[in-house]
Chains A and B, each alone.
Chain A
Amino acid sequence: NAIIGERYRWPHTIPYVLDDSLEMNARGVILKAFERYRLKSCIDFKPWSGEPNYISVFKGNGCWSSVGKQLTGIQELSIGEGCDKIATVQHEFLHALGFWHEQSRSDRNDYVSIIWNRIISGKERNFDFYDDQVIDSMNVPYDYSSVMHYGKTAFGNGSEPTIITRVPDFMDVIGQRMDFSDSDVLKLNQLYNCSSSLSFMESCDFELGNVCGMIQSSADSADWQRLSEVSEGPESDHSNMGRCRGSGFFMHFNSSSVNEGATAILESRILYPKRGFQCLQFFLYNSGSEDDQLNIYIREYSTAHLSRTLTLVEQIKDIPSGSWQLYHITLNATNKFRVVFEGVRGAGASLGGLSIDDINLSETRCPHHVWHIRNFTQLIGSPNGSFYSPPFYSSKGYAFQIYLNLDSLPKIGMYFHLISGANDDQLEWPCPWQQVTITILDQTPDIRQRMSKQQSLTTDPFLTIDNGNYFWDRPSKVGAQVIFPNGTQFQRGRGRGFPNFMSQEMLKSRDFIKGDDVYILLTVEDISHLNTQNDPLPTLNVNDLCASFRCENDGICILQNGKAECRCRSGDDWWYMGERCEKRGSTRDTIVIATSSTAAVFALMLIITLVSVYCTRKKYRKEPSSRTVNTIMENQYA
C-alpha cells in the first residue's frame, strides 16, 4: 500500500551509501536484496555520487526506515543487529520506496481480525488502519503472503496470535519473510511505472504453442517436439508436475528415432544483454541413452559486422535418467544473442530421449553449487533426520559441507561447516570474510514469481569460541575427525547457521518440494572487498613472517598475498610511506614542493625570456648595417 503523493517517489535508480558501521554480512545481504529488486522490478541502485537525495544504510538500533523519499538529502535506513536477512532488507527498502504495511490498508478488516486483548498495552496504535485517501492499495487484492505483512504474534503480550486471518490456511503464511510476493511486485511495478527489469531476460515453461519464440534449426538431423508426456519418461512436464494431466508441456528430443551422432537444435529468440553476464537455468530429463548429451551454445551477433559467432558454453554429459534435474549454466554474452540447445544422440540403446522445461535466463550470478535432495518427504519421516551435503569447494578453495537438521521439526535447521580440503595449505586461516548463502529453491516455473527462502552468514576471522580458538580456523586444527561414506577420513569444523532456516509448513507450501525433490543452492563468495575497515587479519603466521620484517615509525606488519607488508601510520595532514614506513610525508611538504616547483619553473621561464629578448635585440641592431652594405654593393653595380 503506497503512500499517496508524487513527492515521495524516488527515481528508478536510487543512490545509496553503505555506512562503515554496517557488519560485513549485512553488506553482502543488502547487495543481494538489491539484486532481487533488479530482477523483479525496474528499481536499480547505484553508489551515491553526489545526488541531492540518497539512502544511507547503517547499523543503527534495530531495523527501520522512513516511508518514501524524504527530500532531506541523506535518508537513513537501519539494518541493525539481527536485521541482516535478505527479506528484512527488502521489507525496509519497500518502506523507503513508499510502502506501508499490508495490514494497514483500509479494507484489512475484511481479511484479518485483530485480537486487541492480546496486544501489549500501549502498542494498539500499531494496528491502526488508514483511509484510502491516505494510502493506496492500488487495486490489488489483500495479500497474506506480502513481505510487508506482520507475523501472527506481532506486538503480542504472550504467544497467542494478535492477528487471525479470515482464511485459516493463511495463519502461518502472514509474516513470512521469504521474498516479494506477486502482489508486492505488482504494486511496486505499478507505483514506479515499470515495464521491464534490469536483469530478467526470459522465462519459458512451453505451455504456449509459440514456445516463447524459440526456433528449430535446419542444420540438424531432427527437431525438438512440444509434448506433454513421453512413454519412456517424463510422464509429465516439470512446470505442473502432473497436477494438470495432459496440459503441461515440455520440449523433447527423441534420440531413439535417430542414429548415433544425430543432433536436434533449438534456439531461443534473440536476447539483448545489459550487464554482460547471465545465468541460464533449466530442468532436464533423460530417458534416452546414457551417452546422450546436451550442448549449450550462445550464438552472438556482433553489432559492427552482423557476423554470428557460435560459442560452445557447456557439454552436459552423464545425465541421470528417470527424473528432472536442475542445471545452471553461466553465460557471458555482451552482444545480442540466442541460447542454443543441441541434443546429441550418443552410443548405446535409447528408448526415449532428452527433455527440457522451465527455462529461466536472467542477468544474475548463478549459484556455485546445487545440493539435490531426492525423496525428501521420506527424509522428513525418518528416525535420524540430520544429513550432511556432499563436500563442496568454494571459489577460493575452501572445502565445506552443509548440515540439514530435520530433528527439530517443525523447525528445519541449516548449518555451514568448513572441512579439511586439498587447498588448506595455500589458504588463509582463520577463514576471512567468506559469505555463505544458502537458498531453498522455490521451483515455481517463472523466476519472477519464485519466493525462495535465502539466508546468509559470513565467516568472521576474529570470531572466537569459549576455549579461545578461532571459530573459522583450519578444520585440521579445530575440527573433529569424521569419515565419508567411502571411508575417507577428514576433519569437520564447528557448524554455524540457522536453527529455524524455514518451517516445515513453509517448506510444504509453494513449489519448494516438487516431484519429491528439494534443491538447495549454495554460494560461498569472498566479500572482503566490502570491508571498509581494513583490519589486519588474525592470521597465525603473521608473527612468524613479521618477526624478521620490522616496520618503522609505529607501522603495523600484515600479511598480504603471503608476504609481509607494512601498513603505515597517517594523520589528517601527514603520513608515513615506503616499504617500511621509513619516509615521512605531509601536506605541508606537498605545498612546499608545489611552491618551489612553481618558483623554479617561473625562474627558468624568466631566464629563457631574457636570453631570447637579448638575442633578438642583438640581431636587429646588426641588420641595418648589413642592408646598407648590400645597397651600396647594388648601387656600385648600377
Chain B
Amino acid sequence: TPEIFDVDNGLDRDIFDINEDLGLDLFEGDIILDEIQER
C-alpha cells in the first residue's frame, strides 16, 4: 500500500488553534475590531 500524507501534517486545527499557534491576539480569537467596536 502506498504511503499516505496529511494535508496539514497531521495537525487537525480549528480556526482558533491556528491563530493561537501563530501568537495572534485577536478579539474572540479571529476578529479585527474597528474603532467603534473597540470602544
**Interface residue ranges, A against B (CB under 8 Å):** 3, 61-67, 70, 76, 80-83, 88, 91-92, 95, 100-101, 104, 120, 125-126, 128, 150-151, 154-155, 175, 177, 403, 405, 413, 415, 417, 457, 465, 471, 479-480, 482, 492-500
Which residues of A are found within 8 Å of B12, using beta-carbon distances?
A: 499-500
Could you write out 24 A-B pairs with CB less than 8 Å apart?
A62-B22, A64-B19, A65-B32, A66-B32, A67-B31, A67-B37, A83-B18, A88-B15, A92-B15, A95-B30, A101-B28, A104-B28, A125-B27, A126-B28, A150-B29, A154-B29, A155-B16, A175-B14, A494-B5, A496-B5, A496-B6, A496-B7, A497-B6, A498-B7
Q: How many chain B residues touch A (Cβ–Cβ < 8 Å)?
A: 30
Contact between A150 and B16, CB atoms less than 8 A apart: yes
Instruction: State the majority secondary structure of interface residues on B.
Output: loop
Other contacts beyond A81-B18, A497-B5: 13, CB < 8 A: A3-B37, A61-B24, A63-B30, A64-B19, A65-B31, A66-B34, A70-B34, A76-B32, A154-B16, A175-B14, A417-B2, A471-B5, A497-B4
Which residues of B are found within 8 Å of A480, using beta-carbon distances?
A: 1-2
**Interface residue ranges, B against A (CB under 8 Å):** 1-8, 10-16, 18-20, 22, 24, 26-34, 37
Q: Provided the pairs A61-B24, A154-B14, A177-B14 are in contact, do residues A494 and B32 lie with their beta carbons within 8 angstroms?
A: no
* Distance of A128 Cα from B4 Cα, bound (Å): 42
* Distance of A331 Cα from B37 Cα, bound (Å): 47
Write the chain A residue with the least CB distance to B7: A457
* Distance of A491 Cα from B29 Cα, bound (Å): 45
Write the chain B residue with the least CB distance to A151: B14
Interface centre among B2, B6, B19, B32 (most CB of A within 10 A): B2
Contact between B2 and A492, CB atoms less than 8 A apart: yes
Contact between B24 and A62, CB atoms less than 8 A apart: yes
Which residues of B are found within 8 Å of A104, using beta-carbon distances?
A: 28
Write the nearest CB–CB distance from B7 to chain A, whole angstroms.
Answer: 5
Across the A-B interface, give the 6 residue pairs with the lowest CB-CB distance, nearest first: A495-B4, A62-B19, A500-B12, A64-B30, A480-B2, A63-B15
Contact between B5 and A495, CB atoms less than 8 A apart: yes
Indicate which residue in A63, A465, A471 contacts B18 across the interface (CB closer than 8 Å). Answer: A63
Which residues of B are found within 8 Å of A155, using beta-carbon distances?
A: 16, 20, 29
* Distance of A167 Cα from B17 Cα, bound (Å): 25
Write the nearest CB–CB distance from B27 to chain A, whole angstroms.
Answer: 8
Q: Provided the pairs A62-B19, A150-B16, A155-B16 are in contact, do residues A498 and B6 lie with their beta carbons within 8 angstroms?
A: yes
* Distance of A499 Cα from B16 Cα, bound (Å): 19
Which residues of B are found within 8 Å of A65, using beta-carbon distances?
A: 30-32
Contact between A82 and B3, CB atoms less than 8 A apart: no
Write the nearest CB–CB distance from A70 to chain B, whole angstroms.
Answer: 6
* Distance of A120 Cα from B25 Cα, bound (Å): 12
* Distance of A159 Cα from B4 Cα, bound (Å): 27
Write the nearest CB–CB distance from A344 to chain B, whole angstroms.
Answer: 45
* Distance of A494 Cα from B6 Cα, bound (Å): 11
